[in-house]
Amino acid sequence: MFSIFRRKKSGGVESTQVRPAEQSGADPLEQRLARTRSSLGGLFSLIRGADAIDEELIEEIETTLLTADMGITATTRIIDRLREGIKRGIVAEPDQVLPAVQAELYDLIEPCEQFLAINPEKKPFVILMVGVNGVGKTTTIGKLARRYLDEGKSVMLAAGDTFRAAAVEQLKAWGERNGVAVVSQQSGADSAAVIFDALHSAKSRGVDVLIADTAGRLHTQGHLMQELSKVKRVMQKIDAEAPHETMLVVDAGTGQNALAQAREFNAAVSLSGITVTKLDGTARGGVMFAIAAELGIPIRFIGVGETAADLRPFDAGTFVHAILPVESTD
Ligand SMILES: Nc1nc2c(ncn2[C@@H]2O[C@H](COP(=O)(O)OP(=O)(O)O)[C@@H](O)[C@H]2O)c(=O)[nH]1
Ligand SMILES: [Mg+2]
């Protein structure tokens, strides 16, 4: 068990239990996030080597956070609040610094822990997946479909990435392997039309969840971004509330680019959730905090590998503990 310090409004220190890792013993998430954890690992030696909390120490902490891709907004917030804690005497000894940083990381990202609930009254519940090429949209669709099938829900997929024949084939092959209907047309077809057909069909068949793929696009390609708005408008002819989730997929390994994508896609199609993939194999997991600090959009899932089990609902306490495993003494 571990706890995270949180400063009460009164200025006292309150200790909040954070949910421990799903299993006792080795936490597999810690292993998957090993590279991001090692990018923050320098904090331990910094603190161990410090006899007192001084300006140099704070600056080195700041540099470490920036190096882990947390971005300016998140880093500034964490450092400002750390300084405040020091000023108020809440953080008085070097060994109180890391629990304080951990608590700030948690406070920053916890509001983004908002699990995606499938409202059974929306039939189908429509998830529109958006994002640039190669981030893991189609893979994430397969993982999500697996999750909902395992929960006993019926699932249909829409092959809305009509730009590349391979993309339609990738989704169809997945659907065949898993016995899931995939609505598609030949490549080059109008993406909005494919998704419209799929929604129509899912509605008449009483399907629980419809997940729509879309072509990867650069956030700088204005006409393609407009096409996404069209996809939404066309869907709303059938269901005025669809899509019920507009989920951006970003690749953590792209660091601050992922933040830029989130900003642009949010401006163009108003995101309701984000999935951050490829957190395994990158040291840039700090971008999660950059997204939280700047956009505050719910982080629904994290991808930590290529299998279905590697898509996990985002849990702030487990995540923060996995990248900065500080055991506090209280
Ligand atoms: N290591 C790792 N690879 C992933 C993850 N998510 C997706 N990928 C890989 O990323 C590549 C691109 O994925 P794809 O779904 O085709 O991206 P799309 O272009 O956005 O549809 C594939 O090789 C996936 O296996 C993840 O969480 N971890
Ligand atoms: Mg794809």
pLDDT value for 47: 87
Residue, of 222 and 38, whose pLDDT is higher:
38
Predicted TM-score (pTM) of the model is 0.91
Residues with CB under 5 A from ligand 2 (ion): 137-138, 167
- Kindly tell me if the per-residue pLDDT of 70 is higher than 90: yes
- Kindly tell me if the per-residue pLDDT of 3 is higher than 60: no
Nearest to 328 by CA among 43, 42, 15: 15
Could you say which ligand is closest to the alpha carbon of residue 160?
Answer: 2
pLDDT value for 13: 37
Could you say which ligand is closest to the alpha carbon of residue 249?
Answer: 1
Tens-place pLDDT, residues 23-40? 444 458 999 999 999 999
Q: Rounded to the nearest whole angstrom, what is the distance from the C-alpha of residue 102 to the centroid of ligand 1?
A: 30
The closest-lying atom of ligand 1 relative to the alpha carbon of residue 139 is 15
Q: Rounded to the nearest whole angstrom, what is the distance from the C-alpha of residue 34 to the centroid of ligand 1?
A: 19
- Kindly tell me if the per-residue pLDDT of 126 is higher than 80: yes
Q: Rounded to the nearest whole angstrom, what is the distance from the C-alpha of residue 268 to the centroid of ligand 1?
A: 24
Confidence of residue 16 (pLDDT cuts 50, 70, 90): very low
10: left (phi over 0), alpha (psi -120 to 50) or beta: alpha
CA–CA dist 255, 319 (Å, integer): 17
CA–CA dist 121, 228 (Å, integer): 25
Mean predicted confidence (pLDDT) in 65-85: 96
Q: Rounded to the nearest whole angstrom, what is the distance from the C-alpha of residue 264 to the centroid of ligand 2?
A: 19
CA–CA dist 230, 49 (Å, integer): 57
Give nearest CA residue, ligand 1 atom 13: 136
pLDDT value for 25: 42
* Token reading at 137: 């949209």
Mean predicted confidence (pLDDT) in 136-156: 96
Q: What percent of the chain has pLDDT over 70?
A: 90
- Kindly tell me if the per-residue pLDDT of 142 is higher than 60: yes
What's the gap between Cα 210 and its chain centre?
Answer: 20
Residue, of 226 and 252, whose pLDDT is higher:
252
For ligand 1, say whether the CB of 275 is within 6 Å of any of its atoms: no
pLDDT value for 9: 37
- Kindly tell me if the per-residue pLDDT of 172 is higher than 50: yes
Domains defined for the chain, CATH in brackets: 3-14+26-113 (1.20.120.140), 125-321 (3.40.50.300)
Asked if 178 and 146 touch (Cβ cutoff 8 Å), the reply is: yes
Among 130, 139, 164, the mutation site with the greatest number of ligand 1 atoms within 8 A of its Cβ is 139
Q: What percent of the chain has pLDDT over 90?
A: 77
Q: Which residues have CB under 8 Å from 78's CB, separation 6+?
A: 65, 70, 101, 104, 105, 108, 289
Give nearest CA residue, ligand 1 atom 26: 278
Residues 186, 270, 254, 115: what is their CA dihedral angle, to the nearest 10 degrees?
-100
For ligand 1, say whether the CB of 131 is within 6 Å of any of its atoms: yes
Q: Rounded to the nearest whole angstrom, what is the distance from the C-alpha of residue 3 to the centroid of ligand 1?
A: 34
Q: Rounded to the nearest whole angstrom, what is the distance from the C-alpha of residue 303 to the centroid of ligand 1?
A: 9
Give nearest CA residue, ligand 1 atom 17: 136
Q: Rounded to the nearest whole angstrom, what is the distance from the C-alpha of residue 215 to the centroid of ligand 2?
A: 7
- Kindly tell me if the per-residue pLDDT of 197 is higher than 80: yes
Tens-place pLDDT, residues 292-306? 999 999 999 999 999
Among 251, 306, 311, the mutation site with the greatest number of ligand 1 atoms within 8 A of its Cβ is 306
Mean predicted confidence (pLDDT) in 134-155: 96
- Kindly tell me if the per-residue pLDDT of 41 is higher than 80: yes
Confidence of residue 327 (pLDDT cuts 50, 70, 90): confident
pLDDT value for 202: 98
